[in-house]
Amino acid sequence: MPPNLTGYYRFVSQENMDNYLRALDINVVLRKLVCFLKPDKEIIHTGDHMVIRTITSLRDYVMDFDLGVQFEEDLGPVDGRKCQTTVSWDGDQLVCEQLGEKRNRGWRHWLEGDQLHL
């Protein structure tokens, strides 16, 4: 059974974030901004429904979705695109797949102890 990720996770560190964003074809200005922001995460996980709030000093970003159900995600505030997104479990990892104008986009979240990893 997958873990319940409900909690508030404070930013601790980032390693290799610029290279990760470069692999996703994020432009250099946005990469530098993302690496500067150091976001916290708040997750509310109730059964098959999740709300993930990414909290920064500049702007918050909220994903509100049902696990395993595709939805339209508006990433306009992040990088100007819209995509079809599905978030589901792969073992103990939460996996996001984004389908749209840019290929191979998405992320994984998992816990190691009390730390949330991306």
* 8 A C-beta contact, residue 75 and residue 82: yes
pLDDT digits (tens, 9 = 90+) for 17-55: 899 888 877 889 888 888 888 899 999 999 999 999 999
pLDDT band at 77 (very low <50, low <70, confident <90, very high): low
pLDDT digits (tens, 9 = 90+) for 80-118: 778 999 999 999 999 999 998 777 788 999 999 999 998
Q: Which fold has domain 7-117?
A: Lipocalin (2.40.128)
Domain ranges of the chain: 7-117
pLDDT higher at 76 or 34: 34
- How many CB atoms lie under 10 A from the CB of residue 94? 24
